[in-house]
Chain A
């Protein structure tokens, strides 16, 4: 057994760290601090994406034949970790999920026009899966694409389409067979957001993350915009799920936060001869967070090792997702307790600590427990695949 990064992986980590230090300029940081640019989309963000494209840092998960780096799962994990530690809102879903799927399953047009531009950092996609009545039960989605002589006519509504407000295309899940069982009648399309039949309204959320309701009104797309076989879309939606889930619970950002709060507590005097970190309950909180991060890191590393060796283990992927998403919530709480009332101050306030990162993180934490495959369903999977228990009803 060997539980550590090897020389090559450490080298990659260092290389990436240095690269991002150079990429993330003060101008970019100040753009990303504006709520409307929390998730990117501004001019500095777009510049950085193009730079990364031309420096070859997009397409890590892509096969070499499509111009990618074909990094191993652990290397991809290191990439995600390093980017997330910097706080740069890298559009992983566009570049590492949608991109490789289009490169592999898209039409000639899509390969040339879309995949190449994604690799260059020139395109952003919004993900159009969820609908008002189809969340956890995604396979029940109703947005329809009807075949016509020269393509498809799309009608319907999507909910929570993040990034749609600055994306070029929507990666859209539609129903194309109305007779077949739910997940057997779904097809994937590339839908341009500048089509006159496309519209949206903003949904503002607790975490200040903007998302959107998107509407598709008689949008006509040519045959070339279909990705993969007709009615075979479900497998495209699910093919990269394990890797996506792992990216969601990466241990990098929470460790970063933990280290920063630890540092502040060691320099915050609470009276003449004591620092905040001297208090026993504060030590206790830090120890809980620290031991939690350690377990998360190991779960994630093991998961990348499982993927790398080509094994399939449904239960372990779900363990990572459930444990990680719920641990984040507990960790933010424990760290906020340490900083006490100071941690409820917002970033435009006096006395704020860490640019109010804690204050913002706690507001975004819940999304991961129901998004990306809700935790109840993951627990069902763990009981079934991990403990071989009968399927719940």
Chain B
């Protein structure tokens, strides 16, 4: 057993922190509070420093297929509240294609993603509780597909080249790459002002070659995509809650009331300690899930456990942080509030804790 990070992983973390702390200062983040939350320059910097190739094979220009490396990227993006939404591109599209597409697609798409081209996915559907059963349909006609349906919470779609869509067909679930100009986009306004879109497909026609996986492997690919998305979102949650916990430690060590530092009140220090415990649990289940997904394409329970902890940690640590900061915690001139919004987003997107607990419960009492 060895819980230590490899030296290159610590290096990734440190150098990412250098770049991100410079580009995610309060002043810079303010710009994105009401504008389209996407920092093109930062994306360019991450790309030119090779960070968009984390978790991707060297033969496409990546730095190796370790999902823990990719986890570090999302953790740090969360920690710095970076104005970049990359899970659609780097997780859903890049990782699924790497695992399920042919050499040619990998060569073409993965190299361009590493170079900074944006792709995204559109998987979730309003009021469909089960993303493994898309309501969006694909009709197969000769060598064409005709896709109809409505997706939402698709990231940075307006600037993406193509969108990976999940759809049901008479040949089972399919994952299909669709050009962005073939769909109707509506920008949604959401709690953390993330660039999220509703995507409507009205009999969109694409070539059969747009299916990214071998015949018959659609469901397997979709399950992998959903699970990895859960885990990587939990890494964002880890960064977000880690930052909130460090803000708690800093603030309560300085703020004074009743002539003493509030961190010396036991109720305050214990609540901070509870955040630390929560954070440690989240970190460990994330590490286990990402490592297991390196070697096993189906780790549903690991992914669920990650997301359950992420949901709980986001909720508990966010409210502890707000409470322990008093009024300062909700003042938009201080740092904390943006993290509270991100925490809610991480908690709810791709399955809340209650929903996932139910699913995990079904899994462990029936088929395993």
Contacts of B350 in A (CB 8 A): 341
Contacts of A276 in B (CB 8 A): 127, 129
Interface residue A63 (Cβ < 8 Å from any Cβ of B): no
Interface residue B283 (Cβ < 8 Å from any Cβ of A): no
Interface residue B49 (Cβ < 8 Å from any Cβ of A): no
By secondary structure, the B interface counts as mixed
Contacting pair B257 A269 (CB below 8 A): no
Task: Choose the segment among A15-23, A130-138, A254-262, A296-304 that binds chain B (4+ C-beta atoms closer than 8 Å).
Answer: A130-138
Contacts of A268 in B (CB 8 A): 127
Partner of A281, one of B128, B256, B340, B357: B357
Task: Choose the segment among A4-12, A145-153, A204-212 that binds chain B (4+ C-beta atoms closer than 8 Å).
Answer: A204-212
Contacting pair B330 A207 (CB below 8 A): yes
Contacting pair B188 A349 (CB below 8 A): yes
Partner of A370, one of B128, B152, B327, B331: B327
A211 closest partner in B (C-beta): B327
Count how many chain A residues have C-beta atoms less than 8 Å from C-beta atoms of the other chain: 55
* CB within 8 Å of B: which A345-375 residues: 345-346, 348-351, 359, 362-363, 365-367, 369-371, 374-375
Contacting pair B129 A341 (CB below 8 A): no
Contacts of A340 in B (CB 8 A): 129, 348, 351-352, 355
- In angstroms, Cα B116 to Cα A255, docked, is 49
* CB within 8 Å of B: which A319-349 residues: 329, 333-334, 336-338, 340-346, 348-349
Contacts of A346 in B (CB 8 A): 189-191
Task: Kindly provide the distance from the CB of A207 to the nearest chain B CB, expressed in whole angstroms.
Answer: 7
Interface size band for B: 35 or more
Partner of B268, one of A279, A336, A376, A392: A376
Contacting pair B189 A285 (CB below 8 A): no
Contacting pair B257 A366 (CB below 8 A): no
Interface residue A159 (Cβ < 8 Å from any Cβ of B): yes
Bitwise, B329-367 to A at CB < 8 A (1) or not (0) is 111110001001100110011111111011000000000
Interface residue A270 (Cβ < 8 Å from any Cβ of B): yes
Contacting pair A351 B152 (CB below 8 A): yes
Interface residue A280 (Cβ < 8 Å from any Cβ of B): yes
- In angstroms, Cα B129 to Cα A270, docked, is 6
Contacts of A284 in B (CB 8 A): 354, 358
Interface residue A379 (Cβ < 8 Å from any Cβ of B): yes
Bitwise, B243-282 to A at CB < 8 A (1) or not (0) is 0000000000000111000000111100000000000000
- In angstroms, Cα B130 to Cα A369, docked, is 36
- In angstroms, Cα B356 to Cα A337, docked, is 10
Interface residue B319 (Cβ < 8 Å from any Cβ of A): yes
Which of B191, B192, B350 neighbours the largest number of chain A CB atoms within 10 Å of its CB? B191
Contacting pair B327 A159 (CB below 8 A): yes
Interface residue B180 (Cβ < 8 Å from any Cβ of A): no
Contacts of B319 in A (CB 8 A): 329, 365-366, 369
Task: Kindly provide the distance from the CB of A160 to the nearest chain B CB, expressed in whole angstroms.
Answer: 5
Contacts of B315 in A (CB 8 A): 333
Contacts of B326 in A (CB 8 A): 135-136, 370, 374
Contacts of A348 in B (CB 8 A): 189
Contacting pair A160 B189 (CB below 8 A): no
- In angstroms, Cα B322 to Cα A375, docked, is 13
Given A203-B333, A351-B198; A370-B323 close (CB under 8 Å): yes
Given A206-B340, A344-B345, A367-B330; A136-B257 close (CB under 8 Å): yes
Partner of A344, one of B191, B265, B333: B191
- In angstroms, Cα B267 to Cα A208, docked, is 29
Contacts of B265 in A (CB 8 A): 376
Contacts of A269 in B (CB 8 A): 127
- In angstroms, Cα B336 to Cα A370, docked, is 16
- In angstroms, Cα B25 to Cα A207, docked, is 22
Contacting pair B327 A130 (CB below 8 A): yes
Contacts of A134 in B (CB 8 A): 257
Given A137-B258, A281-B357; A206-B330 close (CB under 8 Å): yes
Partner of B126, one of A271, A336, A342: A342
Contacting pair A337 B354 (CB below 8 A): yes
Which of A204, A337, A359 neighbours the largest number of chain B CB atoms within 10 Å of its CB? A337
- In angstroms, Cα B327 to Cα A205, docked, is 9
Partner of A341, one of B153, B257, B340: B153
- In angstroms, Cα B133 to Cα A375, docked, is 45
Contacts of B348 in A (CB 8 A): 336-337, 340-341, 343-344
- In angstroms, Cα B355 to Cα A284, docked, is 10
Bitwise, A61-98 to B at CB < 8 A (1) or not (0) is 00000000000000000000000000000000000000
- In angstroms, Cα B126 to Cα A342, docked, is 7
Interface residue B186 (Cβ < 8 Å from any Cβ of A): yes
Bitwise, A114-151 to B at CB < 8 A (1) or not (0) is 00000000000000001001111100100000000000
Other than A362-B344, A370-B323, give 18 A-B pairs with Cβ distance below 8 A: A206-B330, A207-B330, A271-B130, A280-B358, A337-B352, A337-B353, A341-B153, A342-B126, A343-B348, A344-B344, A346-B189, A348-B189, A351-B198, A366-B322, A367-B330, A369-B323, A370-B327, A376-B267
Listed in ascending order, the chain A residues whose CB lies under 8 Å from chain B are 130, 133-137, 140, 159-160, 203-207, 268-271, 276, 279-281, 284-285, 329, 333-334, 336-338, 340-346, 348-351, 359, 362-363, 365-367, 369-371, 374-376, 379, 392
Q: List 14 A-B contacts (CB under 8 A).
A: A140-B257, A140-B258, A206-B340, A270-B128, A279-B358, A341-B152, A342-B127, A345-B189, A346-B191, A362-B344, A366-B319, A366-B322, A366-B330, A376-B265
Listed in ascending order, the chain B residues whose CB lies under 8 Å from chain A are 124, 126-130, 133, 152-153, 186, 188-192, 198, 256-258, 265-268, 315, 319, 322-323, 326-327, 329-333, 337, 340-341, 344-345, 348-355, 357-358
